[in-house]
Structure 1
Amino acid sequence: MSTPSPALFFNTVNAYQRSAAIKAAVELNVFTAISQGIESSQSLAQKCQTSERGMRMLCDYLVIIGFMTKQAEGYRLTSDSAMFLDRQSKFYVGDAIEFLLSPMITNGFNDLTAAVLKGGTAISSEGTLSPEHPVWVQFAKAMSPMMANPAQLIAQLVNENKIEPLKVLDISASHGLFGIAVAQHNPNAEIFGVDWASVLEVAKENARIQGVASRYHTIAGSAFEVDYGNDYDLVLLPNFLHHFDVATCEQLLRKIKTALAVEGKVIVFDFIPNSDRITPPDAAAFSLVMLATTPNGDAYTFAEYESMFSNAGFSHSQLHSLPTTQQQVIVAYK
């Protein structure tokens, strides 16, 4: 039997310090400054235009929590930091802090007690679901690097080496990467992205950069209110249903079903915990984010998604893992 210890309590209470440290390091470009080799606190302070004392303390802390290593002559990046936190890396994700640590998200945790008492966010009547809230433009720009790989994996799952004509509806398109990836893998795919007009500007720019702008179309407005059109072979639902309660999800799925072609299907990409709701940890923990930031959202299990799709009139659903990501994919068939 292990000896009882208050270490977990104190580590958890002080966890905000980790967020503050990584935010400061990203904002000061510390990781990028170190990327060319070992750097001393003095040279880093000069490169990043900070005090030497402040840089030394920040870097020592980042060593302690695992983002760097320290040698006699200075600091060096870990392999993870070199890949994901050096701005020169094509896998750079540091800008995600602009959304993940934005007040719109963190404020939801300032009075989590109130959210637990209420059973939903305490920050406003709508939380992060406010129509055309600027946080979603921020999200689209900041989270693009994190979604690029999952988008490509889902496109591979969708196309399965086929290049048949494909009409695709991307609900809550955001950065547009999921629909864009399908278009990249299939030259006969036409993509229709649904989101707020301001957010769709980000998606259109990404489509232009990726060379599929001529096949990327937009439908501006609320996914619950706009006219989708019909005869879609595929509807993409990435990271969307978790914002709503079951009844609202089923309402949306019924609307989507009417827009599908006879053999159409829906792909959900989301955090999907096991039935115990505590594993896998990253997917299961996402439910707390929904409690803090939405009125009625949740991290739904596959059984709950199966029930939603069934109640909306879909024939059957399948769960697929997506290796290297914390999320999974559900394919539901009309």
Structure 2
Amino acid sequence: MSTNNKSISRESLLGMMQAYKTTSLLRTGVTMGVFDCLAEGPIDAETVAGRLGSDVRGMRILLNALAAVGLAVEDGGRFALPEHGERLLVSKSPEYLGDMVRVMASDWEWDALKKLHDAVRHGGTVMEVHAETPGYEYWEDFASYAVAVARPTAAVVADALEPWAAGRESLDVLDVACGHGMYGLTLAQRNPQAQVWALDWPNVLPLTEQHAERMGVRERVHRLPGDMFEVPLGGPYDVVLVTNVLHHFSAERAGELLTRLAPAVKPDGKIVLVGFTLDAPPAEDPAPHLFSILMLTWTFEGEVHTVQDYTHMLDRAGFVDGRRYDVPGLAFRVLVADKAQG
């Protein structure tokens, strides 16, 4: 039995109890536009309040609290961004990460986590509206704001497929539960012969198309609205992308989806899976285990699966030679497998 030297302390426990306050500060700074104002700093609270239409006292308290947690720098009653703040917190920056609070700190997630104790007792979501509800509005925010995290992962997918994709006369892509569409759209950007079929709920696909327009590939993107377990898939496709969705289901249910998708893949085609995986003890790799908690509160049977689970799913669905790719700086894994011959 392995042991580790990690311990808890009074300070660490109290910090955990107050972590939501730091999240609230970050979310408020982003949604109010405070960090964009501070990019013009050093600036005082009265000026920030005037520009944002806020009460001066309220803004002063907020700015001091932002400085207290390292999200701003205070000097003599004037405030500015911390180091790297202009790169990560200012909306005009190409590396802007602030809008991810609308996904990772959304009211939908907070409301679900308030019922974590009920979900633990029940073994799944107790929410009336949740991640498996058709037309769930959260997915619109996800499609709008999760691009900052999806973009580097989509680049890893495109890099992994590049030699194979570049040699094909056509590249028909099915992007399942596409959301923002970054995975399929990045393939289309890099491969002028690519056509993308974007599968998701009807309320999400207009946002996918907005990203496609910005990326210059709108004319090569086609809607496929509906439930991925039920909608006619069309095809066959050179590559099928299944990204950040299999953790919404049990391993059995996720395997059923892959089996459903398999006939839509060309005999020499590929399937790509993207998501968290369980590869290490919880203390060594916390992110997937924390994400499983969200799935517990938000789905009926969802949780993060192991690479071995995915390998078994792929094998049962008729895919072989799976290769794993890591995403630098993120906890996501990319798995690429070939359609089995014969």
TM-score, with structure 1 as normaliser: 0.92
Please report how far the alpha carbon of residue 248 of structure 1 lies from its aligned counterpart in structure 2 after TM superposition: 0.8
Q: 1:48 to 1:246 in 2, by over 3 A?
A: same
- In structure 1, give the amino acid aligned to 2:174: L
Is residue 2:50 matched to residue 1:53?
no
Residue ranges of structure 1 left out of the alignment (5+ in a row): none
Write the mapping of 1:1-334 to structure 2, written as runs, cut at 5 A.
Answer: 5-72=9-76, 74-124=78-128, 127-160=130-163, 162=166, 164=168, 165-334=170-339
One-letter code aligned to 2:148:
P
- The offset of 1:76, in angstroms, is 2.0
Q: Residue 58 of structure 1 aligns to which amino acid in structure 2?
A: L
Contact 1:127 1:295 in 2 (8 A): no
Partner of 1:297, secondary structure, is: coil
C-alpha displacement at 1:16, in angstroms?
1.7
Unaligned stretches of 5+ in structure 2? none
SS of match in other structure, 1:331: strand
Per-residue deviation, 1:219: 0.9
Q: State how far apart, in whole Å, the 2-side matches of 1:32 and 1:4 are.
A: 37
Query: Quick check: 1:310–1:316 contact (8 Å CA) kept in 2?
Result: no
SS in 2 for 1:128: coil
Number of residue pairs matched by the alignment: 333
Q: Measured at CA, do residues 162 and 95 of structure 1 come closer, stay the same or move farther in structure 2, by a change above 3 Å?
A: same
Question: After TM superposition, what 4+ stretches of structure 1 lie above 6 angstroms from structure 2?
Answer: 1-4
Q: CA deviation at 1:168?
A: 0.8
Question: Deviation at 1:242?
Answer: 0.7
Retained in 2: the 8 A contact 1:156–1:185? no
| CA–CA separation in structure 1 for the residues paired with 2:292 and 2:118 | 16
How far apart are 1:265 and its partner, in Å? 1.4
Cα shift at 1:142:
2.2
Matched-pair identity in %: 28
Q: 1:21–1:62: 8 Å Cα contact kept in structure 2? A: yes
Distance 1:14 1:44 in 2: 26
CA distance in 2, matches of 1:58, 1:291: 33
Q: What letter matches 1:71 in structure 2?
A: D
- For 1:278 and 1:4, the matched residues in 2 are separated by 13
Aligned-CA RMSD value: 2.1
Taking the aligned partners of 1:310 and 1:279, their CA distance within structure 2 comes to: 28
Task: Measure the CA separation in 1 of the matches of 2:273 and 2:173.
Answer: 13
Deviations 1:18-73 (A, max 9, x none): 12211221122110001123222232222222233322221222222222222236
TM-score when scaled to structure 2?
0.90
Q: Is the contact made by 1:278 and 1:284 (CA closer than 8 Å) also made in structure 2?
A: no
